[in-house]
Structure formats: structure tokens, C-alpha cells
Amino acid sequence: MAPPGPQSGTPPSTPPAPPKHQRRVKQSKFEHGLICLVFRAAFRGLEAGLKITGLHARGRRNAADTQLNRFDIALTDLPAAFDGYTILHMSDLHADGPIDLEASVGRILDGIDADLCVLTGDYRYRLSGRHEDATAPIARIVKHVRTRDGIFGIMGNHDLGTMIAPLESAGIRMLVNDHVILRRGSDEVQLVGLDDVHAYQPAEEAAAALAAMPGGFRILLQHSPELLDEADAANVSLYLCGHTHGGQICLPGGIPVMTNIRTHRRYARGLWRHGDMTGYTTSGVGVSVMPLRFFCRGEVALITLRRA
Ligand SMILES: [Fe+2]
């Protein structure tokens, strides 16, 4: 009987391999700069208004109030030995941001024992400058993670290729268009990590990377829920993502004002179905653009897989 634990084509003890594809931003620098400028101006105006009404402090308190969210996901064809398998899912830590979540998230993690931990990108708040301000706190946070099969991560739209090595040094196995096989006895699950399709990798490139991998029961890690059709066509059973922050600034009832995705807003938060595929879009741990949350708390998700 094979011992539990992940296996892949490259032994975990080898030095971090460079990404197999060249990361390149899809937008031109001018386009990206213009969009950032417009959004920043709009959000600065909104923040100023919230400060006048006193709601800004409330939003900051909400943003610091990360919650543990435990739930089951039932999946058809889940290999029997994985019934009850637990996945600790965190995303969008934005660890160099104005809200310091290190201590509170550490306390949540200290109370968790999981089979696997997955990080679905956006380790960093800023889009330029030193990445160490994000990778250093991430390294401290993951010291609180206890799992049997390890910690795996993917890249988000805030992250740079230069962050892969420090994240790997922190004990996070980065999957950049790569996969590992998780085993329980003779049962196997394929864990696939694809580079971000929101700002970096074209969807067709991600689909080609998926097509080149062996088949099997597939769990996909992708930063945003914008690879739905390609993932469903590639027989992905479970799609785990973040990016939207659940809207971050929501109306009562958790209705997002903005989702920042090029797909339907029903995929912006929580559990969803697309074709034969089940997905979960986490509200994420941290915040970006503004250090505020309304009607949408940050979360650490603890998922238990169930055989449907
Ligand atoms: Fe994010």
C-alpha cells in the first residue's frame, strides 16, 4: 500500500524549477496604467466619502475580521479513499497590504489539521516594488499550517515570477502549469495548478497545458473563475479559485458592487456548478485597492470532500 502523500514528475527535493512558460501581462503597460489610474481615482473618492460618514473605520474592522468557513463539497466519482479528505483553501492574502492579518490568520490556522493546503494566488497587495514585503509574512503565516500532503500554490494577477523561489523556500510547492498526484492507498487525485488567466496567461494556453497532462480525477487551482468552459471541457471535477474577494465591497445580502471578472457574477463568490464541474470561489483572506470590506468578510475555507 502506497503511503499517503503527493507525487509528481519532479521530486519535491529538487530546487524550484523555473516556470515552464514565459509569464507576460495580457494588457499593454499603457492600458494597464490607465485602468489603474481611473480605478484608483474612483476608489479614493469613495474612501473620502466613507471617512466623512464614519463608515471607513467600520470597513477596516470588517476587513480585519477574517473568519473560518467549514463546509462539505459532494463530488460524483470522488475516489472512495478521498471521502472525508480536507482541503484548507486560502487566497488573496495580499500580505503587504494595510490590514495586518498575520496574527489573526495564524490563530485560525493553529486550530486546523487538514490533509492539504492550497493557496490560489495574490500574495501581494502592491503591483510594483519589493515582493519581500509580501513573501516574508506569507512565509510566517504558512508556518502555522499543518497538513499531511503539503502546501501548494499558484500565481495570481498581483504576483511576479520572481516570487516563486521565495514562496517555494517557505515550503509552498508552486504549480505553474504543473500537477501533482495525491494518493490514498491505490486511489489517486490529480491536483493541477494553472497560471493566472485574468491578467497573464491566455485561456487557450491554459487549456493546452491542461490537455498535455494525464487524465484522472482532477482538482484545478486557478486564480480567477475565468477558465470555466476550458476546465469543464477538460473534465475538471473541482475548480478552486479566488480573485474576486467575494466583491469585497458589497451591498446588504452580500451582493457585489464589482466582481473584476469577465464572466457571470454567479461565479464571483461561494459554491457554484458549471456543466459537470463544481467550483468554489473564496472571498479571500485579505483585501486590495481599499482596506475595507462591507457585507463580505474575508475567509479561510476548510473544505471536506464527500463522495456523492
Ligand atoms: Fe486579490
Distance 162 CA to ligand 1 centre (A): 18
- Helices marked H in 54-101 — which ranges? 55-64
Distance 92 CA to ligand 1 centre (A): 4
CA distance 72 to 186: 23
Distance 267 CA to ligand 1 centre (A): 15
H/E stretch holding 110 reads helix 102-110
Taking residue 40's Cβ as centre, other Cβ atoms within 10 Å add up to 12
CA distance 146 to 42: 41
Distance 155 CA to ligand 1 centre (A): 11
Burial of 46 (0-12, 13-18, 19+ CB in 10 A): middle
Residue type, 234: A
Distance 169 CA to ligand 1 centre (A): 22
Q: Residues 162, 131: contact at Cβ < 8 Å? A: yes
Residue 37, pLDDT score: 75
Domain boundaries 27-307, CATH class = alpha beta
Model pTM above 0.95: no
Residue type, 51: K
CA distance 100 to 264: 31
Distance 292 CA to ligand 1 centre (A): 13
- One DSSP character per residue, 116-177 reads EEEE-S---S-SSS-SHHHHHHHHHHHTT--BSS-EEE---TT--GGGHHHHHHTTEEE-SS
Distance 183 CA to ligand 1 centre (A): 31
Distance 251 CA to ligand 1 centre (A): 19
What SS3 state is found at 241?
Answer: strand
What SS3 state is found at 203?
Answer: helix
Q: Residues 224, 254: contact at Cβ < 8 Å? A: no
Distance 3 CA to ligand 1 centre (A): 36
Residue 266, pLDDT score: 94
Distance 14 CA to ligand 1 centre (A): 30
Distance 138 CA to ligand 1 centre (A): 14
Distance 90 CA to ligand 1 centre (A): 11
First-to-last alpha carbon distance for the chain, in angstroms, is 25
Residue 32, pLDDT score: 66
Distance 2 CA to ligand 1 centre (A): 37
DSSP assignment, residue 20?
Answer: S
70-107 b/e (C-beta count within 10 Å ≥ 16 → b): eeebebeebbebbbebbbbbbbbbbbbbebebeebbee
Low-confidence ranges of the chain (pLDDT < 70): 1-22, 27-29, 32, 36
Distance 146 CA to ligand 1 centre (A): 24
* Residue closest to 230 by CA, chosen among 266, 263, 188, 259: 263
Cα separation values, 255 from 47, 63, 229, 274, 295, Å: 19, 16, 24, 20, 8
Distance 244 CA to ligand 1 centre (A): 6
